[in-house]
Amino acid sequence: MSFEVDVSITRGSRRIAARFEAGPGITALFGRSGAGKTSVLDMIAGLARPDEGRIAVDGRALFDAAAGIDLRPEARGCGYVFQDYRLFPHMSVEGNLRYGWRLAAPDARWIDFEQVVEFLGLAGLLAARPRRLSGGEAQRVAIGRALLSGARFLLMDEPLSSLDAARREEIMRVIERIRDELALPILYVSHDRREVERLAGQIVEMD
């Protein structure tokens, strides 16, 4: 799977621009806080509309200002894993996971519920509510929900930043397994150099 991103957006008095191409594996958007990394993910996901430019995945345009293309977020085939998890507090772990499953069109589903539960080690947590989970457990649920949504690629925004050292290592291993065993492409945001050097095959520096 290939990515072509050439976009810009104005946020207040700032202009944020990114231009890169990426292939399979993990591509990291690396830079200090405030460099615009999350804004780039939001544009790829369809949560923010670029002022100009083009976004294509495997040659399929998700956004093209010149051609008037701007696909809805749910039509873009991406799973977004947020820094703050964004689990539904009124749902159990199972409910959160099955919400992702319901989002996916039947022909887009490539992994089933039981496979995700086993892959992420969630069997003992299915009845729990998010407030009972550790940070690492909550992030595994968020990743599982993204996988079950039929995602063709993942967007990860600082997924380790709010975790302690032990939980960081736990989730880093999960991400490595997604990269190596599921072969799912990931666009990954971080400001931690050691993190991106361990995980990513390509690093896009943003300033």
Across-strand partners of 21?
A: 4
Judged by phi (left if over 0) then psi (alpha if -120 to 50, else beta), residue 81 lies in: beta
pLDDT tens, residue by residue, 147-164: 999 899 999 999 998 888
Q: Can you give the pLDDT at residue 100?
A: 85
Q: Which CATH number fits domain 3-205: 3.30.470.30, 3.40.50.300, 3.50.50.60, 3.30.465.10?
A: 3.40.50.300
Torsion over CA of 180, 181, 184 and 189, rounded to 10 degrees? -50
78-81 vs 69-70, strand pairing mode: unpaired
Question: pTM of this prediction?
Answer: 0.91
Q: At residue 174, what is the residue type?
A: V
pLDDT tens, residue by residue, 120-179: 999 999 999 999 999 999 999 999 999 999 899 999 999 998 888 888 999 999 999 999
pLDDT tens, residue by residue, 43-58: 999 999 999 999 999 9
Q: What are phi and psi of 184, to 5 degrees?
A: -95, 125
* Two structure tokens written together for 17: 């621009």
